[in-house]
Structures are given as C-alpha cells and as structure tokens.
C-alpha cells in the first residue's frame, strides 16, 4: 500500500513518538523510576510503524518482549503504557504485566510476550476466530530473528497456512538473539525463505525504510483480508541499544550501531517528506513539540498515579472464582 500525504505525516509523528518514548523510558529507567528490566526498540521504529500503518484499529497484533513501539504504533495509550512500566495501578495491565507483558485489548494489541515466538501459535487461533466470526480483520504476529528458531514459529506458520488464516507473520530481524548473532544461530541465513517450506509468500524488506515495510506488510494484509491466507515478511533492522537496558554489549563492536544511525529510520522518513514538500523545519518542530508534550503528559500521569494496593495481587486471576483455594 502507498500511504497518502496525511498518513505519511501521521507515520512520521508515530515514529517520533516511539523514538522519544523509548529514549525517555531509558532515562527514567537509568534514574530508577522504572523497576524490572526493559528492552528498547530505538532504531527499529520503522517496523512498528510500518506494520501498524497497514492495519486497522480493529486488527490484532501479537507482540514481543521488545513491544513498546508496537503498542504505541497500534494506537495504545501512552499514559497507560508509561504507567504500566512504572508498575502503577493506572497501567494498562494494572501493574501486573510490566514492560514485557503489556497489553491493550482496546486497540487489538493482544500482548507483548516474555517467551519467544509465543505469539506465532496464538496467531492461527486468532485467525480462526476471525474466520468463524466472519469479519474481515487480520492478525499480525511480530517475532524476532531469535524466535524464528523456536518450534512455535514453525508450528504456528504451518497451522496458519493449512487454515489459510488471515494472518501475517512479521520477523523483526535486528540481527541479535539476545547476545547471539543471527549468523551463528540461524541455519540457512534467510528467515523469509522459510515461508517457501509452508507454501506461503515470504519477502525480505529493509526494516529501516518505513515505506518498504508498509508496502510489504500492506500487500500481505490485503492478501489475508481477501481470504488468501498468511504471508511472512522479514524486516531487517538494527538495534541501536543493548538487548536490555544495562547490557554492556561486549559481543559487538560500535560499527554496527554507527551503521544503524547512518540509516536512521526516522531521519529517512523525514527526508522523504521534505523531498515531497510535505514537511518543512517549522512543521517538523511543531510535530516534535506535540509528541514531546504527549510523552511529558504520560510521564506526569505515571508519576502522579498511585502504586497498586497489595490486595490487587489477588485479583484478576479468574473471571469467576468465588471459592477459597
């Protein structure tokens, strides 16, 4: 799909929203405001935004441990997301999920996941539900290059292909499975090629180029909506930061991050917009100021929100459970 001028500007704002949110989360984490551990997607914004630009609000998204950007791009509340990272009662999961388990069902975001490729087996079931309810929704499962070596990836793609499920599998390939390079963990080299084994389309795109991502995913989504079954898109990108915040990254040199910064997905979209006379410096400054304002608001909301009452730890296990264990 080819986004029009308005959507391109929205996508630019969304990319900036992800970038600035992640950078702010990084500062807050370093400052001890966010407990636990967090995985940030700085440098990978074109995947989140390109995928979600191809989706409707009522489409479903199954995400990964590095999922803040996916939720933001899907339209989730920044306030609820930031409050969840803080572990506050006003968080999207009432403080029970945290960074790795964020969810916002109101925008079809069915969860980040602490287990690699876990979403890949949920996807055919979401697809089955779409088929049985006879809607024209689509489900996207995002997973990383490391997850492509887990069984659920293969089982999920196989079942989705058998069922011709309205599903799109997007591999967000950032070259690293935690601290292990793709080259030494992934036989065959290409993840997109694995699609051939299941008889579905598989394409590789530049995951730092949001227009390439939205075009490939858009085509896969359109195919899925037409009832023609799943596809696999491998979006190759570069992780600017560590696997987790605090990762000393002893396993890679600085040249890779330099390469990533040289192919900055936010800067590249801005360049496209400027070339098409859709954005000038003043307009860009206004967008950036607005996005910063949203993030400031989310941080203020998270800071001001109360921590959960300890009793909340014993709620939400079941919908209906009047008994004592």
Output the CA angle 44-143-273, nearest 5 degrees.
30
Residue 298 CA from chain centroid, whole number: 19
Pair 294, 17: CB distance under 8 Å: yes
| Element holding 218 (H helix, E strand) | helix 210-225
Q: How far is the CB of 288 from another protein (least distance, A)?
A: 32
Question: Which whole-number Å values give the CA distances from 322 to 52, 152, 318, in the listed order?
Answer: 40, 35, 9
Q: How far is the CB of 36 from another protein (least distance, A)?
A: 13
**282 scored as a contact of another protein (CB under 8 A):** no
Binding span for another protein by CB under 8 A among 92-100, 250-258, 274-282, 284-292: 92-100
* Residue among 4, 8, 17 at smallest CA distance from 272: 8
How many angstroms separate the CA atoms of 47 and 69, rounded? 9
Interacting residue with another protein among 43, 67, 69, 95 (CB under 8 A): 95
Binding span for another protein by CB under 8 A among 14-22, 130-138, 187-195, 267-275: 130-138
Residues paired with residue 171 on neighbouring β-strands, in sequence order: 143, 234
How many angstroms separate the CA atoms of 29 and 50, rounded? 27
Tokens, residue 233: 């898109």
**156 scored as a contact of another protein (CB under 8 A):** yes
**75 scored as a contact of another protein (CB under 8 A):** no
Interacting residue with another protein among 30, 115, 290, 300 (CB under 8 A): 115
Binding span for another protein by CB under 8 A among 104-112, 170-178, 213-221, 222-230: 104-112
Q: How far is the CB of 164 from another protein (least distance, A)?
A: 13
Smaller CB separation from another protein, 99 or 204: 99
**277 scored as a contact of another protein (CB under 8 A):** no
**92 scored as a contact of another protein (CB under 8 A):** yes
Q: How far is the CB of 162 from another protein (least distance, A)?
A: 7
Residue 278 CA from chain centroid, whole number: 26
Binding span for another protein by CB under 8 A among 24-32, 132-140, 173-181, 233-241: 132-140
Q: How many CB atoms lie within 10 A of CB 287?
A: 19
**309 scored as a contact of another protein (CB under 8 A):** no
- Residues touching another protein, count (CB under 8 A): 50
**225 scored as a contact of another protein (CB under 8 A):** no
**103 scored as a contact of another protein (CB under 8 A):** yes
* 174 conformational bin, left if phi > 0, alpha if psi -120 to 50, beta if neither: alpha
Interacting residue with another protein among 31, 32, 133, 134 (CB under 8 A): 133
How many angstroms separate the CA atoms of 292 and 278, rounded? 21
Question: Which whole-number Å values give the CA distances from 261 to 42, 91, 256, 283, 313, in the listed order?
Answer: 10, 32, 9, 23, 42
Q: How many CB atoms lie within 10 A of CB 193?
A: 13
Binding site for another protein (CB under 8 A): 60, 62, 91-97, 101, 103-105, 110-111, 113-115, 118, 120-130, 132-133, 139, 151-152, 155-156, 158-159, 162, 315-321, 323-325
């Amino acid at each position: 799909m080819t986004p029009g001028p308005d959507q391109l500007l929205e996508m630019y704002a969304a990319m900036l929203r992800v970038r600035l949110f992640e950078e702010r989360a990084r500062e807050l984490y370093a400052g001890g405001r966010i407990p636990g551990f967090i995985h940030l997607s700085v440098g990978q914004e074109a995947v989140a935004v390109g995928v979600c630009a191809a989706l409707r609000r009522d489409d479903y998204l199954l995400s990964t441990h590095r999922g803040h950007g996916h939720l933001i791009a899907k339209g989730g509340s920044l306030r609820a997301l930031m409050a969840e990272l803080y572990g506050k009662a006003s968080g999207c999961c009432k403080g029970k999920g945290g960074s790795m388990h964020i969810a916002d069902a109101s925008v079809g975001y069915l969860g980040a996941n602490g287990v690699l490729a876990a979403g890949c087996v949920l996807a055919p079931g979401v697809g089955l539900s779409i088929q049985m309810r006879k809607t024209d929704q689509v489900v996207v499962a995002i997973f990383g290059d490391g997850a492509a070596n887990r069984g659920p990836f293969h089982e999920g793609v196989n079942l989705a292909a058998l069922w011709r499920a309205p599903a799109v599998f997007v591999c967000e390939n950032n070259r690293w499975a935690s601290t292990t390079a793709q080259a030494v963990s992934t036989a065959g080299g290409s993840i997109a090629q694995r699609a051939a084994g299941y008889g579905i389309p598989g394409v590789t795109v530049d995951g730092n180029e949001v227009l390439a991502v939205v075009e490939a995913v858009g085509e896969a989504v359109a195919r899925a909506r037409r009832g023609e079954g799943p596809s696999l898109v491998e979006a190759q990108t570069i992780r600017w930061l560590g696997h987790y915040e605090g990762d000393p990254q002893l396993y890679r040199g600085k040249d890779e991050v330099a390469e990533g910064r040289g192919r900055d997905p936010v800067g590249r979209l801005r360049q496209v917009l400027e070339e098409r006379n859709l954005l000038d410096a003043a307009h860009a400054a206004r967008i950036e100021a607005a996005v910063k304002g949203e993030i400031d608001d989310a941080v203020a909301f998270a800071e001001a929100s109360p921590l959960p009452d300890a009793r909340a730890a014993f709620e939400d296990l079941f919908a209906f459970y009047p008994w004592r264990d």
